[in-house]
Structure 1
Amino acid sequence: MSENAEDKEAKAAGAATLSKDAAPGETLLKVTGLQKHFPIKKGLFQRQVGAVRAVDGLDFEVRSGETLGVVGESGCGKSTMGRLITRLLEPTAGTIEFEGKDITHLGVGGMRPMRRDVQMIFQDPYSSLNPRHTIGTIVGAPFRLQGVEPEGGIKKEVQRLLSVVGLNPEHYNRYPHEFSGGQRQRIGIARALALKPKLVVADEPVSALDVSIQAQVVNLMDDLQEELGLTYVIIAHDLSVVRHVSDRIAVMYLGKIVELADRDSLYKAPMHPYTKALMSAVPIPDPKRKNAKSERILLKGDVPSPISPPSGCRFHTRCWKATEICRTTEPALLELKPGQRVACHHPENFEDQAPQDTVLLTAAKEAAELVADEVLAESAETSAAVAAELAEETTEEAAEETGAEETGADEGSAEASESESESDSQESTDK
């Protein structure tokens, strides 16, 4: 009895520690150097002969109350990243901090109180619900696992949650096979929100749904965020969905973040060539443009294998701007504009970071054939314009500094002449 009481007290203390609400704008989740390598084993003795580098060094923060969108091609490590930050997978390296507490290698007991604050909405609504359990049992499971007794009982709270996500509370005793895909996803959302978490990781929450249902689910998540003060990390393929729901967007390519910026900056002036290629694929619903020449960028080839990723910049095998430095040196994720971090030696819409390296690689010449001439010309013009603008600013600053130095020198000479005249007058007075 005494041991059980002590366990309950320890759990309550842990829950109390994690239940301190972060103020809006404060860092809720901080990820540093996050890696996940899945070993490849062969032979009778299952010796490791390699590793799949699904996630290979991520650095980002999620602030309380915001929505971070994560986009990228299939196989770039988005879903693995989502499972890592919810601790459904054990990281190979790096750290994950939630509300200032390091949760990277917490055990089952240490993670139990945190499970109330971090939940996940899974991609496939068909496989994420147990077909043997009723909807009431599925949505009520978090209360039973955490030992929480909601006011009015579990059944009443589950029925309330079902009505919140747009389902009939009377369907409490039905089974998952009696619902459509969109309804199942709503059930998954209700289960994730049961314990009023602070962080919700949604792994492609609308990709398995009909287009007519996608808008309903996205609007539902927006409403719930405003009502409950939730923080979202939304993983998606659809760039229009990400633009609608996100405050900031991270673009992933082959296990790394290549660009991280706020929504407006990213869609208005993408700085990484890969981001520009993604944005060019978004259709523009304008009948007047049907005969206009397409400016879509077609990337050459597929994403390289995460078992042996390319050296240097991982996008250089498909990039039309790649030079020797891209093949040999990996670019760091730097903040080139306020709130916009990019990992590129030759960024778009900004001054070239490696102007001395101008000889294109063979892969770049082949990739350039798939890029519209207008896009290449626009890229060169914007880079030149930004470089000229920065040069002007530098010249103006230098002129201001020179003017300030000259002014200081004039003031110093004036003060010296004044002191000399004062000393002469003093000498004449003494005489």
Structure 2
Amino acid sequence: MTDTKKTADDVSLPEQATESPEPLLRVQGLVKHFPIKKGLLQRQVGAVKAVDGIDFDVRRGETLGVVGESGCGKSTMGRLITRLLEPTGGKVEFDGTDITHLGTGGMRPLRRDVQMIFQDPYGSLNPRHTVGSIVSAPFRLQGVEPEGGIKKEVQHLLELVGLSPEHYNRYPHEFSGGQRQRIGIARALALKPKLVVADEPVSALDVSIQAQVVNLLDDLQDELGLTYVIIAHDLSVIRHVSDRIAVMYLGKIVELTDRKSLYEAPMHPYTKALLSAVPVPDPRRSGAKSDRILLKGDVPSPISPPSGCRFHTRCWKATEICKTQEPPLLALKTGHQVACHHPENAEDQAPDDVVLLSAREAIEIVSATPKSAEAEVAAPLTKGEVTQDAVVLAEAEATEAEAGGKAEAEGQDAADAKVAEPEPAAAEAQADADEAEPAEAEADEPEAAEEATTEAEATTADSDEPGADDPGAEGDSAPPRTSGDITKE
């Protein structure tokens, strides 16, 4: 194994002598087309261009993040560099060895150095095998006998990823999603590989478990000296774990740089639109956030991608040259590569070109509203102030009630006060009815009269005076009769 690597390194030394440090993985013009066949004879009528010519390298000990929307070819690229898929074209070099078209037998020795963590923790584990059988499979396939035995090494791996050694004889259905992903990580790290490709390792997990798995990957990288290629669509996760970031769109890499340059000064319009979609959880910081860029239309089909720049159908800066000429991936700044004729934070490559008519309606900009955010922040404060005022009033009323006497006496006084209030109203209504004034009778509504009568009945029933029942009864019967007589007249 060692002699083979030395021979391969000797062959490729003139090509790599100028680069420092030497990349662990180098990809040049990688292409993968899935054929579309129809008819009885299964003739090929087209192809899905999942990956259509990408170039990048991965340095030793670094983490390369790959982002992009669904269908851009991220997962296909990950399976190509691990040789789980056969490339249609291009070249893949790992540690100085060309592994582009190696067969199963040729790739078997390299499987110790290249491993993959799959996206679905539920489908990547065999439900009929125990955890010990799953994690120990790499040792059996490679014929490796670790010191102390396979079982001891598997239990050590389980402890390394945060699981208990007692889980050795359990089955995958007995674990949660985060625990299953940890089992997959333990299996990938069994043979201590040099390169680990993680295909969206936290997308199927809860947010709290995501942080644990991401921190676990960071700790294992520092402890074992791993090199990562992490594929994800969550920009916050990629920003946390990556040293450099590659942005893919429709089978192409449109921007490649370190995370600081990408998040602070993105050059490609597609990258800018992606970053504008990142939500800000703190409304007090939303004023500093740029406007939200909404890309109109759907992603073009990878079966027949647009000519020229593949993003020109959804780009607000597209010109005639974007429609006809594909932009190459060039380094416009030190370590910042972008494939765009009209980059955002760099010099325009075609300043005098004619803007396409479709570019004017390609996007919709949603402006940030810091005022509304400030109102949302101030709303709880206002409610708190009202609550404090209510508490102060309640305390003042309580002190007055204690100074007035006992609670029963206060309740009786309050009832007497309520009884005394409607009596003048009922007396005035009765006097007005006896005087038969048309103007006041027409102004009173029937509902108000009924409420006044019911209140008068309540007061007469609660009154202790013996002569108070008769005038209350007369007051109850007199107003409707008088009002009826007045209406008739």
Instruction: Quickly say closer, same or farther: Cα 1:166–1:16, change in 2 above 3 A.
Output: farther
1:12-55 Cα distance to aligned partner (Å, 9 max, x none):
855887999x9994210000000000000000000000000000
Cα deviation digits, residues 229-251 of structure 1 (max 9, x gap) = 00000000100000000000000
Within a 5 Å distance, the mapping from 1:25-104 to structure 2 comes to: 25-104=21-100
Q: Which structure shows the bigger proportion of residues in helix conformation?
A: 2
Count of aligned pairs between the two proteins: 361
Deviations 1:58-93 (A, max 9, x none): 100000000000000000000000000000000000
What is the identity percentage for the equivalent residue pairs of Structure 1 and Structure 2?
A: 81
Give the aligned partner of residue 237 of structure 1. 233
- Structure 2 length normalisation: TM-score? 0.71
- Say yes or no: does 1:134 pair with 2:134: no
Alignment pair present for 1:318 and 2:292: no
Offset of residue 360 of structure 1: 2.0
CA deviation profile, 1:201-238 (whole Å, cap 9, x unmatched): 00000000000100000000000000000000000010
Offset of residue 362 of structure 1:
2.3
CA deviations on 1:286-317 (whole Å, 9 max, x unpaired) are 22145789611001112110000000000000
CA distance in 2, matches of 1:341, 1:316: 18
CA deviation map 1:312-370 (0-9, x unaligned): 0000000000011100000000000000000000000111000110x3212211114x0
Query: Could you tell me which residue of structure 2 aligns to residue 371 of structure 1?
Result: 365
1:18 and 1:83 map into 2 onto residues whose CA distance is: 23
The 8 Å contact of residues 266 and 272 in structure 2, kept in 1 or not, is answered as yes
Q: 1:164 Cα shift? A: 0.4
Please say if 1:193 is aligned against 2:206: no
1:68 is paired with a residue of what secondary structure? strand
Give the alignment's TM-score, normalised by structure 1: 0.81
CA shift in 2, pair 1:353/1:292, >3 Å: closer
Cα separation, partners in 2 of 1:306 and 1:349, compared to 1, 3 Å: same
Return the match for 2:142 from 136, 139, 146: 146
User: 1:362 is matched with which residue?
Assistant: 357
* Match among 341, 361, 369 for residue 345 of structure 1: 341
Runs of 4+ in structure 1 off by over 6 angstroms are: 15-20, 291-294
The aligned residue for residue 176 of structure 2 is: 180
Residues 198 and 230 in structure 1, CA contact (< 8 A), matched pair in contact too: yes
Q: 1:119 aligns with which of 110, 115, 121?
A: 115
User: Which protein shows a greater Rg?
Assistant: 2
Matched, 1:163 2:163: no
Secondary structure of the equivalent of 1:297?
Answer: strand
* SS of equivalent residue, structure 1 residue 276: helix
Seen in structure 2, the aligned counterparts of structure 1 residues 17 and 230 have a Cα distance that, compared at 3 Å, is: farther
Separation in structure 1 between the aligned mates of residue 253 and residue 289 of structure 2, nearest angstrom = 31
Contact 1:24 1:63 in 2 (8 A): no
Separation (CA, whole Å) in 1 of partners of 2:287 and 2:223? 45
Any unmatched runs of 5+ in structure 1? 1-10, 375-431
Change (3 A) 1:44 1:127: same
Structure 2 SS opposite 1:371: strand
* Residue equivalent to 1:253: 249
Within the alignment, does 1:270 sit opposite 2:270 as a pair? no
Cα deviation for residue 372 of structure 1 reads 5.1
Q: Where in structure 2 are there 5+ consecutive unaligned residues?
A: 11-15, 369-489
Amino acid in the other structure paired with 2:361:
E
